[in-house]
């Protein structure tokens, strides 16, 4: 739920969705719905690279901040398909998602590469949103904590925790409709913060976050925001997530 020293960050990861025209249409519907959102909630959109500029122009004067879905560690060079912090800066990007389970799975990204991406993001003035999480199989075999701890230890080397957001995204909950129980997500987010060793670290939960579970998720003491996939593609649904209403403390 965030605290005075742990900002709330609600981010929409559009993945490989949205043309420029679709992104503009989203923005025109979404912005009026978040015009009165409390200012202590940071609203982030991560469009595909091709729609970054369209979204930047559409959100001028609003509270919406931009993220990229990836970043390379070199400033330029022969790295087909990659993008650098310098290129992202031109489009007003403030955050960079790194270590998402999709590139980890489909492109065999290693913790070492993810660490290079995160370090480059910070060196270039971006805040990495560093994703960690276990697979179904790893959870079933009791390996959840060991896997995440390894991702934290290897992926976070040399990273300044004061300029970092971590997203706990259990792989089995991504795009499946199976949300991790809020209390379990809370437990893992708390463990991640303790392993990183920085009490003010913002830790998000991600994986099938929807309008109907956001209030319970954001009521958890160790969850400071969410990283949303599918439900961030529709203006009404993402606005409801941004405008969450945490349950009062029991
Ligand atoms: P879903 O919200 O669609 O499960 O995706 C989560 C995610 O991967 C965000 O990065």
The CATH number linked to 16 is 3.20.20.70
User: Which pLDDT tens digit goes with each residue over 212-231?
Assistant: 999 999 999 999 999 999 99
Residue 190 domain flag: yes
Predicted local distance difference test score (pLDDT) of residue 248: 64
Residue 250 domain flag: no
Residue 3 domain flag: no
Burial 131-168 (b: 16+ CB within 10 A, else e): bbbbbeebbeeeebeebbeebbeebbeebeeeebbbbb
101: number of CA atoms within 13 Å, CB side?
A: 20
What is the number of the ligand 1 atom nearest to the C-alpha of 175?
A: 4
Mean pLDDT of 112-123: 97
Round to whole Å and give the CA distance between 104 and 209.
21
Question: How remote is the CA of residue 173 from the centroid of ligand 1, in Å?
Answer: 8
Confidence of residue 249 (pLDDT cuts 50, 70, 90): low
User: Which pLDDT tens digit goes with each residue over 165-201?
Assistant: 999 999 999 989 888 999 999 999 999 999 999 999 9
Percent of the chain at pLDDT exceeding 90? 90
What is the number of the ligand 1 atom nearest to the C-alpha of 177?
A: 4
More confident residue, 155 or 210: 210
Q: What residue numbers bound the domain in which 65 lies? A: 8-31+40-73+82-242
Residue 108 domain flag: yes
Residue 177 domain flag: yes
Round to whole Å and give the CA distance between 168 and 158.
20
In the residue annotation, 17 being an active-site residue is answered as no
User: Which pLDDT tens digit goes with each residue over 16-36?
Assistant: 999 999 999 999 999 999 999
Residue 2 domain flag: no
Predicted local distance difference test score (pLDDT) of residue 53: 98
Question: How remote is the CA of residue 140 from the centroid of ligand 1, in Å?
Answer: 21
The number of domains in the chain is 1
Mean pLDDT of 28-57: 97
**What is the pTM assigned to this prediction?**
0.96
Residue 247 domain flag: no
Predicted local distance difference test score (pLDDT) of residue 192: 97
Q: Is the pLDDT of residue 250 over 80?
A: no
Residue 200 domain flag: yes
Mean pLDDT of 120-141: 96
Predicted local distance difference test score (pLDDT) of residue 179: 83
Three-state secondary structure readout of the chain: CCCCCCCEEEEEECCCCCCHHHHHHHHHHHHHHCCCCCCCEEEEEECCHHHHHHHHHHCCCCCEEEEECCCCCCCCCCCCCCCCHHHHHCCCEEEEEECCHHHHHHCCCCHHHHHHHHHHHHHCCCEEEEEECCCHHHHHCCCHHHHHHHHHHHHCCCCCHHHCEEEECCHHHCCCCCCCCHHHHHHHHHHHHHHHCCCCCEEEEECCCCCCCHHHHHCCCCCCEEEECHHHCCHHHHHHHHCCCCCCCC
Phi-psi bin for 125: left (phi > 0), alpha (psi -120 to 50), beta? left
- The one catalytic residue in 100, 102, 109, 134 is 100
Residues having CB within 6 Å of any atom of ligand 1: 13, 100, 169, 174-175, 206-209, 227-231
Question: How remote is the CA of residue 218 from the centroid of ligand 1, in Å?
Answer: 16
């Amino acid at each position: 739920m965030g605290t005075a020293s742990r900002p709330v960050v609600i981010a929409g990861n559009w993945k490989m969705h949205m043309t420029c025209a679709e992104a503009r249409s989203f923005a025109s519907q979404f912005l009026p719905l978040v015009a009165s959102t409390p200012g202590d909630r940071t609203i982030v959109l991560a469009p595909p690279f091709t729609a970054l500029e369209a979204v930047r122009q559409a959100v001028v004067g609003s509270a919406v901040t931009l993220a990229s879905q990836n970043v390379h560690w070199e400033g330029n060079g022969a790295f087909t398909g990659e993008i650098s912090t310098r290129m992202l800066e031109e489009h007003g990007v403030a955050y960079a998602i790194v270590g998402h389970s999709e590139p980890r799975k489909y492109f065999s990204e290693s913790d070492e590469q993810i660490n290079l991406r995160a370090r480059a993001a910070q060196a270039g003035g971006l805040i990495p949103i560093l994703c960690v999480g276990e697979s179904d199989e790893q959870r079933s075999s009791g390996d959840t904590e060991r896997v995440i701890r390894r991702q934290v230890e290897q992926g976070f080397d040399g990273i300044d925790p004061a300029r970092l957001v971590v997203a706990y995204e259990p792989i089995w909950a991504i795009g499946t409709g199976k949300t991790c129980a809020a209390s379990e997500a809370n437990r893992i987010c708390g463990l991640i913060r303790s392993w990183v060793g920085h009490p003010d670290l913002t830790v998000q939960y991600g994986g099938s976050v929807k309008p109907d579970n956001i209030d319970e998720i954001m009521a958890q003491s160790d969850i400071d925001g969410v990283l949303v996939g599918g439900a961030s593609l529709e203006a009404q649904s993402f606005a409801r997530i941004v405008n969450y209403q945490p349950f009062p403390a029991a």
